[in-house]
Chain A
Amino acid sequence: MMRKAGEIILLLLLPFVMTHADGTHYRMPGKPTLTSCRSPEKETFTCWWEPGPDWGLRTTYALYYRKENSEMVYECPDYRTAGANSCYFNKNDTSIWVNYNITVVATNSAGSTFSDSVDIDVVYIVQPNPPERVTATILEDKGWPFLRVSWEPPHKADTRSGWITLFYQIRVKLEGESEWEMHYAGQQKTFNIYSLRSGGTYLVQVNCKPDHGFWSDWSSTSYVKVPEYYTRERSVWLLIALFSAFIFLILIWLIHMNIRSLKHCILPPVPGPKIKGFDRHLLKNGKCDEVFSTLVVSDFPPTMSSNYEDLLVEYLEVYIPEEHELMLEESKDLHDGFLKSEGSASDSDSGRGSCDSHTLLMDKCGEVKEKQTDQEGGRMGTEAHTQQADWDESHEDMVSPDMSSGRVKTWPSVFSPLPQYSPSPLHHPNTLETAWQQQQHYLSDTLLPADSLSSDLSQAGHNIKDTPSSNYWKFCLSNKRPHLLQTDARWHLQAHSDVNISNISHKEAPACTYLSSLRSTEYVEVQRVNEEDRVLLHPVSSERHDGKDCLQLCHGEDYSKVKGVDIDNVLLLHREVMEEEVDMCLCDNQETNGATESCYTTITPQKPTSCIQAQAMSGYVDTATMFAQPSH
């Protein structure tokens, strides 16, 4: 019994044992998988599959497909064309816009295994072949080489009819590099690449893609060598370097030339106080009249005043009182004023009318300024005033304003804070001061319009500073002196101004007589120097109507100038003459008045010229007369 059961069990187990002994024999094939299906030209397609494990058994694979509208199952028509484990569908078997249901079946002795089905539409699986006949050549564009790549579409793809639309792509790299340079070429079949490295070797590849599909594989590599153009690059760099160096040098030179203006631009100097026309440096130098020269406005007094005619004083009655000595104080203020006055007005010719007497003084002024202190200037001022007084006293004729075409009209100082000038002579001491002040202004006014003359002055090369100084002396003095001169003197000054003006304008005086008479009032003689070191001047009262005077006047040399102060504190005046002929009237006047001026004493009636000539170039000259010539 037991033996029978064991045999039965053995018999039953036998097939199992036998099966295990030969396990692979009945193993079903592994499941294959369809890897991909591709159509290169939308006319045919191929499918590939991956076989599963075959367990060593002979396994056959079959591909079956079914089209979407029918239930018919077809087997792959061509297993060979596309290689192993592939199925190739030729044109006749290919339909587009039709779904294929494809299945691969692996069969071996044990059985068959079906793969997963795949639905494909041929139009969605298009992947063309790579472009063919890729050529890469080096061409030249104006001496610079570039790479031209050209190719053709894969011969199977029908692009001519428009069945397939292909887009191309190029990739380039230098031999030895790892990174490719990609270029998209669109639908064109040529492409240019610039900026090549001289002497390098380039690898070129092209691929393509249909409008709705996959990129193809890269074409075979084309090699191209770029010729050497290295030297040209180098020379270009050299040129650029040289040019830059040149430009740099030029810039440096320009900066060097303009360093000052650059400094001024970048670091502007801190502006100091600035009064228009006021020069601080001149003030330091002590040139009184120059300092104020620019302050004096040329159109002041207003020439276009409506009251012009009213204010215009054409000629005046001049009355010279007996006492006309000036007591001049030397004061600091005077000196300051003097200095100031010296520094200011550039031209004082108009005022010089009355300042004719100043010609004697101007010289002195310049010299004094150089050597001495303010005291001299004060003296000068006084002298000027005395001169004026003398003029006023001596002159009795009316000065016709018509005498000078360029005559500067004199006005009372309506423009000043001083009281209104009244034509009538004022004998008040108060008025005297006022008058003086007015006169001063008047003088300055007369001076002002003669800016042109002052320019002439400079042109003529005269010492300008002497010219205005005398006028300014008067200013300085008049400010401080309430009774410097009599009112008559004022008149005289005015007259003198007019006279001067007339002299300035007319070199040839039509009325010699007149001029000569004017001349008579020009000179001031220094009477004495008082205890306070003040020069007392008195006008020379001689009357001149000689022809000599005329001559003098005609020649326009009218003003004597201060030559110097001698040891006795005598103001030395001499007359400066432009022309050679000199009227000795001056000398006569001097003598008659007993002037202690050395010049006068030295001047002889026979030889006035010499005296004058000697002083010709020394100092102040009546610039008005001097410039009358040029103006004419």
Chain B
Amino acid sequence: MAYRGTNGSSLFITVLYVVAACRAIPINDLLDRASQRSDKLHSLSTMLTQELDTHFPPIGRMIMPRPAMCHTSSLQTPIDKDQALRVSESDLLSLARSLLQAWSDPLLVLSNSANTLPHPAQSSISNKVQQLQEHSKTLGDGLEILSGKMGPAAQAISYLPYRGGTDLGQDKITKLINFYFLVSCFRRDSHKIDSFLKVLRCRAAKMQPEMC
């Protein structure tokens, strides 16, 4: 009997501790961390784009697919500030999560292609793609935790499949162009994620107006 009592009390204490611990990190702090991560993600993609630009064939720009061809373009996102500020927190988070989720597969493709990319800065590019994958994964996990605190609407993720296949192209030019195109799509989407999270951060940090 005494043993059971001890068990029960220790369990209670454990639960209490977990609850206390869970409450220890407030949402604004979580959002701050998430926005920092997304900021880093976007910076990486920008640097990647600039590196690709250094040795990009001019003709490639001519035959570059249009941005509307990005696989995530079907997702309806706000196109100006007023629209963005009217979206609810849960929806914003949902959008961010959906976009992030849509890139898990294409990043793999990018990573594979980066190993054999016909580009002088191939190793650096490959390294950056690797980092993109890591940050993306971490951010996804963090957003998942956040969504748990923000209601069921935040949990909904739109499915945006990538249909580009595992191979970016046969010849060098095509490979390079497709690679560049994918990276540009990712750059934009990462900027969207970053903006949404920063808006969420400022909304949550009512106690810290100096942050925003």
Using a CB–CB cutoff of 8 Å, the interface residues on chain A facing chain B are: 42-43, 68-69, 91, 94-99, 121, 123-124, 158-163, 165, 187-189, 211-212
Q: Assess whether A211 is in contact with B194, with CB atoms less than 8 Å apart.
A: yes
Minimum CB–CB distance for B78 against chain A, Å: 8
Interface residues of B in 48-95 (CB under 8 A from A): 66-68, 77, 79-82, 84-85
A211-B39 in contact given A97-B77, A187-B210, A188-B210 (Cβ < 8 Å): yes
Nearest A residue (CB) for B199: A162
Residues of A contacting B192 in the complex (Cβ-Cβ under 8 angstroms): 97
Task: Find the residue from A94, A161, A189 having the highest chain B CB count within 10 A.
Answer: A161
Nearest A residue (CB) for B85: A161
Taken together as a complex, chains A and B put the C-alpha atoms of A42 and B77 apart, in Å, by 16
Q: Assess whether B198 is in contact with A96, with CB atoms less than 8 Å apart.
A: no
A212-B46 in contact given A68-B68, A162-B199 (Cβ < 8 Å): yes
Minimum CB–CB distance for B48 against chain A, Å: 14
Taken together as a complex, chains A and B put the C-alpha atoms of A161 and B86 apart, in Å, by 11
Task: Find the residue from A91, A95, A97, A161 having the highest chain B CB count within 10 A.
Answer: A97
Q: Assess whether A69 is in contact with B212, with CB atoms less than 8 Å apart.
A: no
Nearest B residue (CB) for A162: B202
Dominant secondary structure at the B interface: helix
The yes or no answer to B43 lying at the interface (CB within 8 A) is yes
Nearest B residue (CB) for A123: B191
18 contacts between A and B (CB under 8 A): A42-B81, A95-B80, A97-B79, A97-B191, A121-B188, A123-B195, A159-B212, A161-B199, A161-B202, A161-B203, A161-B212, A162-B200, A162-B203, A163-B195, A163-B198, A163-B199, A211-B39, A212-B43
Residues of B contacting A91 in the complex (Cβ-Cβ under 8 angstroms): 80, 82
The yes or no answer to B26 lying at the interface (CB within 8 A) is no
Q: Indicate with 1 or 0, residue by residue over B182-212, a CB within 8 angstroms of chain A CB atoms.
A: 0000001001101100111111000001111
Taken together as a complex, chains A and B put the C-alpha atoms of A549 and B134 apart, in Å, by 118
Known: A99-B66, A99-B67, A189-B210. 9 other contacts (CB 8 A): A97-B188, A123-B188, A124-B191, A162-B201, A162-B202, A163-B199, A187-B210, A188-B210, A212-B191
Taken together as a complex, chains A and B put the C-alpha atoms of A65 and B209 apart, in Å, by 39
Interface residues of B in 73-121 (CB under 8 A from A): 77, 79-82, 84-85
Taken together as a complex, chains A and B put the C-alpha atoms of A212 and B50 apart, in Å, by 14
Minimum CB–CB distance for B70 against chain A, Å: 10
- A-B pairs, top 6 by smallest CB distance, nearest first, are A162-B202, A162-B199, A95-B79, A162-B198, A162-B212, A99-B67
A165-B198 in contact given A160-B209, A187-B211, A212-B42 (Cβ < 8 Å): yes
Residues of A contacting B68 in the complex (Cβ-Cβ under 8 angstroms): 68-69
Minimum CB–CB distance for B64 against chain A, Å: 9
Taken together as a complex, chains A and B put the C-alpha atoms of A98 and B191 apart, in Å, by 12
Minimum CB–CB distance for B167 against chain A, Å: 26
Residues of B contacting A124 in the complex (Cβ-Cβ under 8 angstroms): 191
Nearest B residue (CB) for A187: B211
Minimum CB–CB distance for A22 against chain B, Å: 38
Minimum CB–CB distance for B66 against chain A, Å: 6
Q: Assess whether A68 is in contact with B66, with CB atoms less than 8 Å apart.
A: yes
Q: Assess whether B46 is in contact with A211, with CB atoms less than 8 Å apart.
A: no
Q: Assess whether B210 is in contact with A211, with CB atoms less than 8 Å apart.
A: no
Residues of A contacting B202 in the complex (Cβ-Cβ under 8 angstroms): 160-162
Taken together as a complex, chains A and B put the C-alpha atoms of A69 and B194 apart, in Å, by 23
Minimum CB–CB distance for A276 against chain B, Å: 73
Taken together as a complex, chains A and B put the C-alpha atoms of A177 and B2 apart, in Å, by 81
Taken together as a complex, chains A and B put the C-alpha atoms of A97 and B81 apart, in Å, by 11
Taken together as a complex, chains A and B put the C-alpha atoms of A123 and B77 apart, in Å, by 14
Taken together as a complex, chains A and B put the C-alpha atoms of A187 and B84 apart, in Å, by 23
Residues of B contacting A160 in the complex (Cβ-Cβ under 8 angstroms): 202, 209, 212
Residues of A contacting B198 in the complex (Cβ-Cβ under 8 angstroms): 162-163, 165, 211
Residues of A contacting B194 in the complex (Cβ-Cβ under 8 angstroms): 211-212
Taken together as a complex, chains A and B put the C-alpha atoms of A94 and B78 apart, in Å, by 12
Residues of B contacting A189 in the complex (Cβ-Cβ under 8 angstroms): 210
Residues of B contacting A163 in the complex (Cβ-Cβ under 8 angstroms): 81, 84-85, 195, 198-199
Residues of B contacting A161 in the complex (Cβ-Cβ under 8 angstroms): 81, 85, 199, 202-203, 212
Task: Find the residue from B77, B80, B201 having the highest chain A CB count within 10 A.
Answer: B80
Residues of B contacting A99 in the complex (Cβ-Cβ under 8 angstroms): 66-67
Residues of A contacting B191 in the complex (Cβ-Cβ under 8 angstroms): 97, 123-124, 212
Taken together as a complex, chains A and B put the C-alpha atoms of A322 and B42 apart, in Å, by 130
Q: Indicate with 1 or 0, residue by residue over B121-157, a CB within 8 angstroms of chain A CB atoms.
A: 0000000000000000000000000000000000000
Nearest A residue (CB) for B212: A162
Nearest A residue (CB) for B49: A124
Residues of B contacting A188 in the complex (Cβ-Cβ under 8 angstroms): 210
Residues of A contacting B80 in the complex (Cβ-Cβ under 8 angstroms): 43, 91, 94-96
Minimum CB–CB distance for A526 against chain B, Å: 107
Minimum CB–CB distance for B183 against chain A, Å: 14
Taken together as a complex, chains A and B put the C-alpha atoms of A98 and B198 apart, in Å, by 20
* Interchain CB contact (< 8 A) of B81 among A43, A165, A187, A212: A43
Residues of A contacting B201 in the complex (Cβ-Cβ under 8 angstroms): 162
* Interchain CB contact (< 8 A) of A96 among B79, B209, B210, B211: B79
Taken together as a complex, chains A and B put the C-alpha atoms of A189 and B211 apart, in Å, by 10
Residues of A contacting B79 in the complex (Cβ-Cβ under 8 angstroms): 95-98
Minimum CB–CB distance for A555 against chain B, Å: 93
Taken together as a complex, chains A and B put the C-alpha atoms of A87 and B211 apart, in Å, by 34
Task: Find the residue from A68, A94, A163 having the highest chain B CB count within 10 A.
Answer: A163
Taken together as a complex, chains A and B put the C-alpha atoms of A276 and B203 apart, in Å, by 91
Residues of B contacting A69 in the complex (Cβ-Cβ under 8 angstroms): 68
Residues of B contacting A162 in the complex (Cβ-Cβ under 8 angstroms): 198-203, 212
Minimum CB–CB distance for B25 against chain A, Å: 20
Taken together as a complex, chains A and B put the C-alpha atoms of A98 and B67 apart, in Å, by 8
Residues of B contacting A211 in the complex (Cβ-Cβ under 8 angstroms): 39, 194, 198
